[in-house]
Structures are given as C-alpha cells and as structure tokens.
C-alpha cells in the first residue's frame, strides 16, 4: 500500500461492516477528492470514494509517460477553495511535471485526511438504481456492494485509454505501451528502436524525451498538429511570492475567463491591427509561450480568416525550425484551424526532428496496414521496432462513464440512454438517473477549461444541491426531458457558432474512437457563462430539475414543479 493510505483489507472490512453510505464517489482525482471533502467535512455526510489505483491522482496517477507535464500554469493548477492550501504548497516550475502533481494531490489528501475514506485498488463494476429504496447499489471487483442515496462519478474526462485495434497488434513480439497506462517502474528506451503512434498533446510531450535515449524514434503521424513552445522554466522567488499574495486576484481572473486560465482573452480582433502588428503580437506570444497564445485575439475561434493568420504563423514556425524540408512538409501540413483540436504545448518538439535518430511517417499518405511480430507495417513497407508507444488518446468524456455499468430507473442503462450521444443537463445529470451526479460530464466546459477550475465549480454546485436536498428533506433530483433537450441544443448551438466542429477528427466530437457517435461533447460557451447559468438554475429552485419527496403513503410528489 502506497502513500500511507488505509490497506485494502482494512478498507474492505470497514466497507463490508457498513456498506451503506450517504454518498458514493467514484474516482480519487481532483474531483473525487474535493467532493469527498465537501460532502464529509462540510455537510457531515457519510461518504466513500472508490478508486481503481493504489493512490490518489486520477488522470495523473495513470499518465506517467515520458515528458508528462501539465499544460496549465502551475499557479492556476491548484485547488483555490482553501487559502491554507494555496499558502502552504509551492510549485517549482511554470508547468508542473506529473510526479509533482501527484505529490501535490497527496499533500492535499493528507492535509484534509481524505485517504481514510478512499477505498483504493477497487473498481466499480456496476451501479444500479434501486427505485424502491431510492439507493444506488454499486458493485465492485472486490466482490462488495456498497449503497448510497447519492452517486457521484468523478472518473475524469480523459481516463479511458484508446488503444487502436490495429490488425496484428497482439502478435507484436516487442513491448507496447499506452501513454495513459504507463508502467510505474518506467520504460528504458536506451538503444531501442521505438515507434510512436499519435501526435496529440501527449505524443508531442513524449517525443523529445524518448528521442534522447532511443536508438531510433519513428513517429507515425496521422494528423499533423500545431504546437506552441511551453517556455517552461523554474519559478523565481519573486513569482512565487506574487502568486501567493495575489491569490484572490488570480481566482477572480480564472473565474472571469472563458477557459478558466489566469489570463483573459484579449478584446481585440485579428483584423483590428495591421499585418506587421499582428506578426509582432504572434512573435511575442510565441516567446511568452503556452496556451496564452490563443488568447491574443478574441476572434481566433470564430472567424476562419482570422484563424488562418495564426495557423499560417504557426506553420511557418514549423518550417523554420525543422531543417529537413521533407520532415517539415509532413509536420506542417495541418488540415484544421488552429485550436479546433486541443492545442498542444511543447518543450523542443519540432526541434527534435532535427536529430538524426528521429523520423516521421505520414500516415495520410502511407497508412498503417498492420502490426507484425517485428514492427509496424504501412502501405510503404515495414518499420522494425523493439517498442511501440501508443500516444493515441482516450475514449474521452463518455468512455469511463459508460464502462461503469450504470443502470438507472426502469432498468435503462446509461449506454442505452446515450446510444446516440451523451444527453445531460448542465453536464451534471441525465434523465432516468436520479441522484446520479457527473463531475465535468459531457455538456459542461470540462476539457475546454483549466480542469481544476471546472472541477471546483461542478463539485461545489453538486455539494450545494445535496445540502439543499438534505436540509429540505428531498429524496430525489432528476432533470426534465425538456431541460435536457434544451441544454443539448444549446451545447450544439454554441459549438456551431465556433470553428471547433471543423476539426472533424477531433476527440471533442468522439471521432477518434471507431463507432462512437459524433456529438460535440464539451460546452463551448465558456466557463464564466456556464457558472452563471448553473448559479441561475440553483437560484430559481433548481429550474429544469424535478426535486421530489416520498410521502408517508409512498407516493412521490414533486416539490419544485
Ligand atoms: O490524445 P489525442 P492525447 N492510427 O486524441 C492519433 C489532454 N492532455 O493523449 O488526430 C494512427 O489528442 C491521433 O490522430 P488523429 C489534452 O486535453 C493534457 O495526445 O485522430 N494514429 C492523434 O494524433 C489532450 O487533448 C495534457 O488523426 C492514431 C493521437 O493519436 C487530451 O489529453 C497532456 C490512431 C491522439 O491524440 C488527449 O491528448 C496530454 C490510429 N488508429 C494530454 N488513433 C496536459 O495538460 C489515434 N491516433 C498535461
């Protein structure tokens, strides 16, 4: 057992003795930990977290691939609900590396004494709503069943690894790894012929690090991608002091911003400035680095001609950096507007292609045909490899939820209810699944936002809702079909007002997983606007939800209709 947590045996006994809780939370990442803290320590509920890993961290527990680093700036990638946590914790770099984030989450878990209520090394295998008892019964792979009035899924948006089912994959005699299921002991690439499939945010972080020790690294690229230098650096003492002293101001900015970052999107439009000025602005933003680049103009995601100016600038940077013209052509041949797929940020990604041991294969021209015993075979021939790294992303936003085996009212499964794509109200609830809350679910800003900001808002909204239910003696909450339809339409409407759906192969649309319905999943209306909508719904007595109470003769009556 790691991290000083309670042993699985102790936990099993405790849960076995008392398998009835007020709330069961699935997942012990940023969301699940904070949800536990609020429900247990603020509301005084009996709450239990079920967690697959043997430690806290969620996404960060699993994504231990080489180069794994957060793309949000460290001073904003923290819980902001507690001044004490903000004052005590100190990040070391502009962007924290995966081990530092796991250390941070362990620090928080210990500080708030969370681990005693987290059951590690336990996966939920089914969650059924028992209508008569108004309880969720959650079955686990340890053979237990725990039950609770409230079920909160805090499973993360990017935690169900997508390992493509390429013919022959299992015949490969070397080693293969998915970046989201990385071995804890690490992988030694020294002297190995490595192939990496995928050039999303993850792949772009991994390439420079793998290239340092591998004999050769062959990158199999299906879709060329933009990337902006992170310009990572150790934090100065001056900055550290400023971040601590300015936490209220930083919180205000993050809450006011579209993407929950500690900077606002500029008011100016691309064509408000001359071509020379624009070039200077882009050059400066490139030097500053990171996700701030896309905040330079307000219309980058709304006006294709405006977006083209950023896209052209970034493509020209690739051609400038990558010396081999053939490699440069493959890497800069990008087919979607800038930032319509999640924009990666990197440390020396394009520069790495100037190494003799690194090559790129354009899968658009020569697709993968199969994986053989000895490597990857494209339509152009075979690449012999010792190790294959799948940086192929996730069954995002819905994958982990649909794996939970959720069965709602009248025996309807979540998988059936979402057959044609996820349908939620505010990303937090679905029709037919009373008292089931989804943290940063589809239909909420989630992955379009700096995650801790999105998480804090959702977790607090859920805690406030549960507090009201407990105070007012409400048994159930569930959205109306009308509210869900209205919200799904609104999610589509705001997405369609942007260029985001133009990246037809984006995981935002579920397009990276064969057979997945093509639905734009996150809410693109901005975090600040979303927060206002959620607050308004609560202020109007949970408008769009039915809150109901069972009467003495077992009739159910709506109390806010
Ligand atoms: O996954 P991705 P990711 N054959 O889906 C390719 C967050 N994140 O893990 O674009 C060949 O973006 C696929 O090609 P295509 C962040 O939100 C955060 O990189 O589908 N190639 C693509 O190139 C991010 O967006 C951070 O054509 C195949 C790549 O694999 C999200 O996680 C760090 C293929 C997958 O890219 C996901 O990023 C990293 C196939 N069969 C990630 N299947 C931090 O902030 C897929 N691909 C730290």
Query: pLDDT digits over 318-361, tens only?
Result: 999 999 999 999 999 999 999 999 999 999 999 999 999 999 99
Nearest CA to ligand 1 atom 5: 393
| Pocket residue to mutate for ligand 1, from 393, 502, 503, 521, most atoms within 8 A of Cβ | 393
Q: Tokens 């809350």 map to which residue?
A: 437
Contact 242, 100 (CB under 8 A): no
pLDDT of residue 15: 42
Six token digits for residue 122: 């336990």
Q: What confidence score (pLDDT) does residue 13 get?
A: 39
Report the nearest-CA residue for atom 3 of ligand 1: 393
What is the whole-number distance in angstroms between the Cα of residue 201 and the centre of ligand 1?
Answer: 6
Instruction: Please list, in sequence order, all residues whose beta carbon lies within 8 angstroms of the beta carbon of residue 274, skipping any fewer than 6 positions away.
Output: none
pTM of the model: 0.95
Model confidence pLDDT, tens digit, residues 432-457? 999 999 999 999 999 999 999 999 99
3-state DSSP assignment of residue 2:
coil
Ligand 1, atom 13, lies closest to the CA of 198
Average pLDDT of the segment spanning 132-139 = 97
- Check residue 561 and give its pLDDT: 59
Fill in the DSSP letter of residue 42: I
Look at residues 337, 384, 339 and name the one whose alpha carbon lies nearest to residue 359. 384
The pLDDT, as a whole number, for residue 275 is 98
Distance CA 463, CA 481 (A): 23
| Mean pLDDT of all residues belonging to the chain | 95
Mutation probe of ligand 1 site: the residue of 98, 163, 167, 202 with most atoms within 8 A of C-beta: 202
Determine the distance separating the centroid of ligand 1 and the alpha carbon of 349, expressed in angstroms: 15
Cα(397)–Cα(401) distance, integer angstroms: 8
User: 344: CA distance to ligand 1 center in Å?
Assistant: 10
pLDDT at 553 over 80: no
| DSSP label at residue 344 | P
Per-residue pLDDT, 6: 40
The mean per-residue pLDDT over the stretch 61-67 comes to: 97
Closest listed residue to residue 147, CA positions, set 136, 159, 139, 132: 136
- Ligand 1 pocket check: which of 167, 176, 392, 396 to mutate, most ligand atoms within 8 Å of Cβ? 392
Mutate to test the pocket of ligand 1, among 176, 195, 201 (most ligand atoms within 8 A of CB): 201
Structure tokens at 386: 């010792």
How large is the average pLDDT for residues 536-544? 98
User: In the predicted model, what is the mean pLDDT of residues 205-219?
Assistant: 98
Residue 392 tokens read as 């192929």
pLDDT computed for residue 44 by the predictor: 98
Digit-coded pLDDT (tens) for 280-323: 999 999 999 999 999 999 999 999 999 999 999 999 999 999 99
**Which of 205-214, 289-298, 376-385, 550-559 has the lowest average pLDDT?**
550-559
Q: What mean pLDDT comes out for the span 155-170?
A: 94
- Name beta bridge partners: 49: 25, 118
Q: Which residues line ligand 1 (CB under 6 A)?
A: 69-71, 158, 164, 197-203, 205, 222-223, 342, 363, 368, 391-394, 447, 505, 507, 512
CA of 197 to the centre of ligand 1 (A): 9
Residue intervals of the chain classified under CATH 3.50.50.60 are: 8-160+396-474+525-544
Nearest CA, atom 8, ligand 1: 201
The angle, 0 to 180 degrees and rounded to 10, between the axes of the packed helices 247-256 and 237-245 is 70
pLDDT in the model for residue 144? 94
* 474 CA → ligand 1 middle, Å: 42
Over 60: is that where the pLDDT of 2 sits? no
Three-state secondary structure call for residue 384: strand
Q: Count H helices and E strands in the chain, helices first.
A: 17, 21
Residue 378 β-bridge partners:
368, 381
Q: How far is the CA of 236 from the centre of ligand 1 (A)?
A: 32
Give, using CA atoms, the residue closest to atom 7 of ligand 1. 201
Residue nearest to atom 29 of ligand 1 (CA): 198
Q: Whole-angstrom Cα distance, residue 4 to residue 457?
A: 29
Ligand 1 midpoint to CA 204 (Å): 9
Task: State the average pLDDT over residues 373-395.
Answer: 97
Q: Which atom of ligand 1 is nearest to the CA of 180?
A: 9
Is pLDDT of 378 > 60? yes
Q: What is the CA radius of gyration of the chain?
A: 24
* pLDDT-derived band at 551, boundaries 50, 70, 90: confident
248-289 pLDDT, tens digit per residue, is 999 999 999 999 999 999 999 999 999 999 999 999 999 999
- Among residues 199, 263, 208, 258, the alpha carbon closest in space to that of 226 is found at 199
Residue nearest to atom 43 of ligand 1 (CA): 392
Q: What percent of the chain has pLDDT over 90?
A: 93
- Nearest CA, atom 44, ligand 1: 70
Confidence grade of residue 520 (pLDDT, cut at 50, 70, 90): very high
Mean of pLDDT values over 20-43: 98
Q: In terms of CATH, what superfamily is 8-160+396-474+525-544? A: FAD/NAD(P)-binding domain (3.50.50.60)
Ligand 1 atom, smallest distance to 158 CA? 32
């Amino acid at each position: 057992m790691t991290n000083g947590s309670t042993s699985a045996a102790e936990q099993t006994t405790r849960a076995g003795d008392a398998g009835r809780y007020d709330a069961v939370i699935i997942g012990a990442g940023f969301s699940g930990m904070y949800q536990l803290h609020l429900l247990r320590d603020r509301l005084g509920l009996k709450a239990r977290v079920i967690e697959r890993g043997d430690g806290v961290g969620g996404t960060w527990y699993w994504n231990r691939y080489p180069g794994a680093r957060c793309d949000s700036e460290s001073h904003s990638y923290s819980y902001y609900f507690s001044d004490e946590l903000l004052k005590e914790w100190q990040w070391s770099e502009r962007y924290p590396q995966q081990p530092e984030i796991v250390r941070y989450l362990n620090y928080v878990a210990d500080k708030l004494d969370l681990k005693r209520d987290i059951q590690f090394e336990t996966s939920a295998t089914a969650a059924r709503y028992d209508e008569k008892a108004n309880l969720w019964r959650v079955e686990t792979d340890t053979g237990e069943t725990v039950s609770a009035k409230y079920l909160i899924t805090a499973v993360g948006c990017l935690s169900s690894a997508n390992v493509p089912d390429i013919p022959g994959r299992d015949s490969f005699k070397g080693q293969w790894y998915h970046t989201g299921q990385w071995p804890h002991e690490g992988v030694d690439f020294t002297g190995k012929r490595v192939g990496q499939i995928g050039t999303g945010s993850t792949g772009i972080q991994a390439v420079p690090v793998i290239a340092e020790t591998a004999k050769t690294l062959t990158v199999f690229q299906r879709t060329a991608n933009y990337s902006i230098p992170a310009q990572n650096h150790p934090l100065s003492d001056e900055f550290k002091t400023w971040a601590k002293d300015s936490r209220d101001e930083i919180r205000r900015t993050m809450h006011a911003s579209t993407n929950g970052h500690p900077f606002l999107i500029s008011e100016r439009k691309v064509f408000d400035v001359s071509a020379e000025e624009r070039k200077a602005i882009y050059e400066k933003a490139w030097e500053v680095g990171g996700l701030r680049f896309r905040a330079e103009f307000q219309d980058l995601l709304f006006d294709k001609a405006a977006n083209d100016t950023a896209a052209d600038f970034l493509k020209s940077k690739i051609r400038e950096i990558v010396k081999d013209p053939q490699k440069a052509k493959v890497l800069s041949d990008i087919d979607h507007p800038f930032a319509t797929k999640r924009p990666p940020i990197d440390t020396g990604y394009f520069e790495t292609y100037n190494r003799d041991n690194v090559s790129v294969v354009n899968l658009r021209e020569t697709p993968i045909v199969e994986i053989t015993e000895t490597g990857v075979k494209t339509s152009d021939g075979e690449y012999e490899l010792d190790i294959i790294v799948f940086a192929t992303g996730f069954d995002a936003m819905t994958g982990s939820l649909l794996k939970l085996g959720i069965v709602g009212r009248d025996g309807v499964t979540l998988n059936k209810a979402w057959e044609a794509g996820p349908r939620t109200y505010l990303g937090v609830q679905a029709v037919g699944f009373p008292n089931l809350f989804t943290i940063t679910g589809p239909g909420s800003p989630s992955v379009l936002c700096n995650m801790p900001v999105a998480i804090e808002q959702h977790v607090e909204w859920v805690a406030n809702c549960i507090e009201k239910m407990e105070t007012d003696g409400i048994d159930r909450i569930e959205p109306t079909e009308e509210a869900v339809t209205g919200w799904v339409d609104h999610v589509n409407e705001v997405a369609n007002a942007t260029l985001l759906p133009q990246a037809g192969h984006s995981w935002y649309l579920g397009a990276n997983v064969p057979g997945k319905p093509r639905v734009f999943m996150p809410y693109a209306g901005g975090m600040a606007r979303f927060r206002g909508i959620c607050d308004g719904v609560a202020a109007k007595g949970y408008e769009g939800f039915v809150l109901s109470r069972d009467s003495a003769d077992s009739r159910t009556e709506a109390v806010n209709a």
